[in-house]
Amino acid sequence: MRLLHTSDWHIGRTLHGTDLLAEQEAVLGGLASVVTAESVDLVVVAGDIYDRAVPSADATAVLDRVVARLLAAGAQVVLTPGNHDSARRLGTFSGLLSAAGLHVRAVTPALDEPVLLADEHGDVAVYGIPYLEPEVARHELGLTGRGEDAVRGHEGVLTAAMERIRADLFLRPGVRSVVLAHAFVGGGVPTDSERDICVGGVDLVPAGVFDGVDYVALGHLHRPQTLSDRLRYSGSPLAYSFGEAGQQKQAWLVELGATGLGEVRPVPLPAPRQLSILTGELADLLAAPEHAAAEEHFVSARLTDTVRPTDPMRQLRERFPHCVHLEWAGAGASADGRSYQERLRGRSDLQVTEEFVQHVRGAGTSDTERELLARALAVAAGEDAA
């Protein structure tokens, strides 16, 4: 049996306010071609199907079209909610959808009830663990009455979830197994586009929690990575931050043989629009021929002009129409680390105003400008400005 491991679709996410639905549908819809070319039996999505708990109508329409293409290509689909999804909303009509080949595993108490698929070697049990918010999951899994301290946090509830799954597998001798989980597993390397599951490091889960199954399809981290042969992150199908610029996105093609895990290899995914980070003075960015390729990319520009340019985004977009992020890093842009109150303490209105001018344009005021500012402040204060 062949399965395609994906995760973190984040349908509906934007890049610095720029809509990505067209790019997302292009990449996700293209997975149907992989299903056909590689004879994939099952596509799994390990959480964060949408980017928000209440997705837009356009986002749900994209998911509908993508899943329809995967099913038409001959694969079944198993998906679980991540920390961005609403498990209850995602699980709507899940019973009916299963008949069509779309299996949504969104009910925590039922996480040990697998989707059973068969090939020439027998059955494969696919378990979907919805994202487990620890305090809620403790109650849903009936853990509040036994050793509460031992089951607090993500490690505790995922350990309990895997105990249930292993208990079910014990009753299915010879059955090969796959688990989908959305978690931050120790050894994984995050990027700057994930949003923390929780604060303080208690979200980290040891890899050993997932012992006892043939393959674990992980979601949450957006960088594709291998923690062990049987424990992997597929990463997100698109780059969702400029920290991921140049990163090759992929899915994992996983083969289950007669006795368990066989070959696992990456399937590179296309980038409909690449990300570029450009650094330099505005005039150079607008004229330099070496930046020609970036004219079709999403662009983050870091300007090093000594004085803040006037209307730089408009000018940048004349050459780079998909410039979505701008940062001024000139000499006048650095902060001195003091709080707002500390910077104001003991300073006159004129001094504060001059500092503001320095911050905005990167150059101080002239004598004439200082005189005009002083007169304007006096008028504003109701004083005689003559």
Work out the angle at residue 265's Cα, subtended by the Cα atoms of residues 264 and 269, and round it to the nearest 5 degrees: 135
pLDDT exceeds cutoff 70 at 146: no
pLDDT exceeds cutoff 50 at 292: yes
Q: Alpha helices, DSSP H only, in 229-305?
A: 282-287
At the topology level, CATH places domain 2-268 in: Purple Acid Phosphatase; chain A, domain 2 (3.60.21)
Question: Smallest Cα–Cα separation from 363: which of 331, 322, 329, 316?
Answer: 331
Tokens of 235: 């990463």
Of the chain, the end-to-end C-alpha distance in Å amounts to 88
- Section 287-298 average pLDDT: 95
pLDDT over 70, % of the chain: 89
How do residues 349-372 score in pLDDT, each as one tens digit?
A: 888 888 888 777 767 888 888 889
Tokens of 313: 């985004």
How do residues 110-136 score in pLDDT, each as one tens digit?
A: 999 999 999 999 999 999 999 998 888
Of the pLDDT bands very low, low, confident and very high (cuts 50, 70, 90), residue 200 is: very low
What is the distance between the alpha carbons of residues 46 and 219, in angstroms, rounded to a whole number? 5
Q: Which residue has the higher pLDDT, 253 or 342?
A: 253
What is the distance between the alpha carbons of residues 284 and 348, in angstroms, rounded to a whole number? 39
pLDDT exceeds cutoff 60 at 76: yes
- Section 25-36 average pLDDT: 97
Tokens of 290: 């070496």
Mean of all residue pLDDT scores within the chain: 89
pLDDT exceeds cutoff 60 at 293: yes
What is the distance between the alpha carbons of residues 50 and 31, in angstroms, rounded to a whole number? 17
What is the distance between the alpha carbons of residues 4 and 254, in angstroms, rounded to a whole number? 6
- Domain coordinates of the chain in residue numbers? 2-268, 275-380
- Section 229-237 average pLDDT: 96
Q: Alpha helices, DSSP H only, in 200-326?
A: 282-287, 312-319
